[in-house]
Chains A and B, each alone.
Chain A
Amino acid sequence: MINSTKGAKDMEKKKFRFNIVDVILLLIIAAASAALGYIFLSGSGSEKSDTVEIVYTVDVPELRRELKNKIEPGDRVVDSVSLCDLGEVVSVEYLDQIYEGEDHKTGTLVYSVHPGEMMLRLTVKATASKADGFYMINGYYMAVGVTVSFRTPGFMSNGPCMSVEEVSA
């Protein structure tokens, strides 16, 4: 009688013993849950995520003339905050900074070139994903109107994105 009770207890103990197979099963379940969570929570399961080449421009207005020629085509552009790579400089243009004055005699607007400032127009090429229909460059949302705080090895500034275009790879 005593033996049979002990045997039953042993059996019960054995039944609840945690072993390597249980660990493997738990790991598989955890990995599957993580994968499903990622797919559903990120929305990438329902949306198609394409990778495209884009070219975008950033204007930096009211730049002092001392800051000319600090960027070169080929420089990498990095977001100043997150430090994510935003692509490669394709071209650099220095445009006149236009000043809007008012002719007080005639009451008309007069547009003239600012003698001490210029506008930098930066054209950058990057690979973007089109997850959810938006252009995302390494997780950075890029669209016209977005203020881009950027840095290159020889220059740092910020300015609005003025255009985004898809180009064939």
Chain B
Amino acid sequence: MQTAKKKKRTKFNIIDFIIIVAVVLVIVGVVLRYRLADKMEGESVGVEAEISFIVPKIKEEAVSAFKIGDEFYIDGVKIGVLQSFTKDFAETYVENENAELVLTYCEDRYDVRGVILSNGVLTEGGYMASGTKFLAPGYDDPVKSKNIKCTMIITDITMIN
């Protein structure tokens, strides 16, 4: 009678099984999470970078919206702080009498070239501004600061340290 009771008490049931599976899954999850975190940390290095850019053919009023020290964002991610910029008459290509393109300069539009000082991480896959936003030369999309929203072309990224 006592043995039967003991047997009943140690019987393995579905609840036990679910609990064991849940515990195993939690352990596996924790291990994977830390291994992944280690891997990511191991492959990335915190860096400071200079992002060179050009914003072509904008009006003078827009040029005045570039302010040194302004923070620039892409998709809500801070990519850095405007360190310096220059403005030049916008390069424009027009057809000559032979129907070939020649370089000329448009005097009511400006090309703004500048440098943004950025903090991010350098991974095997490239530079990640603020550790999350991949950036590379060739980026040609909107950026914004508190004073301006414009289309910026990234022409170079140089790691400082």
Contacts and interface: CB of A to CB of B under 8 A. Distances in A.
A112 B100 contact: yes
Contacts of A115: 93, 101-103
Contacts, number: 79
A154 B156 CA distance: 9
Interface string B117-147: 0000000111100000011111110000000
Contacts of B127: 153
Contact of B136 (A66, A102, A103, A153): A153
B137 A76 contact: no
Contacts of B14: 18-19, 23
Given A64-B153, A70-B138, A151-B134, A101 B124 contact: no
A154 B101 contact: no
A47 B93 CA distance: 53
B126 A110 contact: no
A18 to B, nearest CB: 5
Contacts of B2: none
A156 B128 CA distance: 13
A83 to B, nearest CB: 9
A155 B136 contact: yes
A55 B127 CA distance: 27
B101 A156 contact: no
Classify the secondary structure of A's interface with B. Answer: strand
A154 B136 contact: yes
A49 B91 CA distance: 52
B99 interface: yes
A156 B136 contact: yes
Contacts of B12: 19-20
B17 to A, nearest CB: 5
A152 interface: yes
Interface string A103-116: 11000001010111
A157 interface: yes
Interface of A: 18-20, 23, 63-64, 66-67, 70, 76, 78, 99, 101-104, 110, 112, 114-116, 151-157
